[in-house]
Amino acid sequence: MDLGIAGRVALVTAASKGLGRASALALAAEGARVSICARGEHALRATEAELQALGADVHAVVADVTAPDMAARLVAETVERFGGLDILVANAGGPPPARALEVTDEQIAAAVNANLTTSVRLVREAVPWMRRAGWGRICLITSFSIKQPIPGLSLSNLSRTGLWAWAKTAAPELFPDGITLNLACPGHHATDRMKQLGGDAAHMGDPADFGKIVAFICSQPANFLSSTAINVDGAAVLGLL
């Protein structure tokens, strides 16, 4: 299937490893030009080289995406380099495990900043360029916890469900301008982080497959797909909604 995004400009944050990296690779394989960021330079340069090996035009920035001014900087640099911005895949590292009654105000603020406000900032900065183009695709990487909260991950549960509620409000405001907004909700995937946590990789999703689903969500044929939260979880969520 032709995803129809060759030449489109994509910004994928937190993308030197794991699900962000896989998303950037899948978009580049479809011919998109790609901006990526991460805090650690070594892995970022390795992923930049992988993207270039696919023939992609790449802009790679060492950056903490959760810093308050970073969304504006990343979007500005992407537009300066490529002349516009068509696709946003907003991703950031997840918060640490925490039992519900043990979380501190500071932990809540940090989780909300990283896993809610950062995505809102990125969308806010990206949308004017998408409106100018009359076309846009936004995919927020969250977690299957928005459908089925995960015991012991109260910070992830509270921040990501808040983002989902915000996205449901934002998507109808964007759709008339040709911009779709969806969430991709991973279950357990065999990223470095999950393998380090001791998960059984044989029973996890392949990040490369997840990246291809993100690329489809950001594709031309996904024109009428908006305001959805798509689980990619190997049937982990048992709820009906």
Give the binding site for ligand NAP (CB under 6 A): 14-20, 37-40, 43, 64-66, 91-94, 141, 143, 186, 188-189, 191-194
CA distance 131 to 126: 9
Min CB(227)–ligand NAP separation in Å: 20
- For ligand NAP, give the closer residue by CB, 7 or 87: 87
- For ligand NAP, give the closer residue by CB, 66 or 226: 66
- For ligand NAP, give the closer residue by CB, 127 or 185: 185
Min CB(205)–ligand NAP separation in Å: 7
Are the CB atoms for 77 and 35 separated by under 8 Å? yes
CA-based max dimension of the chain: 49
- For ligand NAP, give the closer residue by CB, 33 or 160: 160
Min CB(20)–ligand NAP separation in Å: 5
DSSP character at residue 182: E
How would you class 193 by CB atoms within 10 Å of its CB: exposed for 0-12, middle for 13-18, buried for 19 or more? Answer: middle
| Cβ partners under 8 Å of residue 206, min gap 6 | 189, 190
Min CB(117)–ligand NAP separation in Å: 12
Task: Show the beta-strand stretches assigned E in 42-199.
Answer: 58-62, 87-90, 136-141, 179-186
Are the CB atoms for 227 and 168 separated by under 8 Å? yes
Helix, strand, coil fractions of the chain, as percent rounded to 5: 50, 15, 35
- For ligand NAP, give the closer residue by CB, 16 or 219: 16
Min CB(187)–ligand NAP separation in Å: 6
Q: Which of 67, 20, 60, 71 is nearest to 36 (CA)?
A: 60
- For ligand NAP, give the closer residue by CB, 66 or 182: 66
CA distance 88 to 130: 10
- For ligand NAP, give the closer residue by CB, 220 or 228: 228
Min CB(115)–ligand NAP separation in Å: 6
Structure-token pair, residue 31 = 């011919």
Q: Please give the backbone phi and psi of residue 31, each rounded to the nearest 5 degrees, phi first.
A: 95, 5
Min CB(21)–ligand NAP separation in Å: 6
Q: Which of 170, 162, 171 is nearest to 142 (CA)?
A: 162
